[in-house]
Amino acid sequence: MTPTNLLDETQTRPVLRLTRHFNAPREAVFRAWTDPKALAAWFGPDGVQTRKVEIDPRPGGRFSLEMYESDGIYPVAGVYREVAPPERLVLSWIWGNGELEGLETIVTIELRKKDGGTELTLLHEGLPTDVARGKHEGGWVSSFDCLERFLADGQA
């Protein structure tokens, strides 16, 4: 997939910022994002199955996965820009189909120790419209619900 740019770089794009607390150590939360079997077990909004997960979590390493829903398959891929276990991941995010096919956005995940668990902050930058931001917000919030269940089950 070749990244494309739908907007002139001088325009300001909407930014999605979410924060969530998990009752699990940072190492477990980080592992849930960087271990292919773990990621496949929880990633995606509720009702989505994630398959064909390939992860090379190092700067310059690539990732790809496919999310399966009743209405289709949604591939996503990208490149890790920063990997700092167990506290930070920065990666490009490129949809393989749909309205945003080929558009490169950036996802930053920061993990901080807090209240006996982990505070996760996700920043998703480069989304082209407020509508795209809203759709991604719904997907990420539901994905975090799935991650919370995964961590509570002690699978990480």
Helix 130-152 vs helix 26-34: crossing angle, to nearest 10? 120
* Domain annotation covers residue 6: no
Distance CA(106)–CA(113), nearest Å, equals 23
* Domain annotation covers residue 108: yes
Total structural domains within the chain: 1
- pLDDT tens digit sequence for 78-131: 999 999 999 999 999 999 998 899 999 999 999 999 999 999 999 999 999 999
* Domain annotation covers residue 69: yes
Distance CA(83)–CA(105), nearest Å, equals 17
What CATH number should be reported for the domain holding residue 22? 3.30.530.20
State the pTM of this model.
0.89
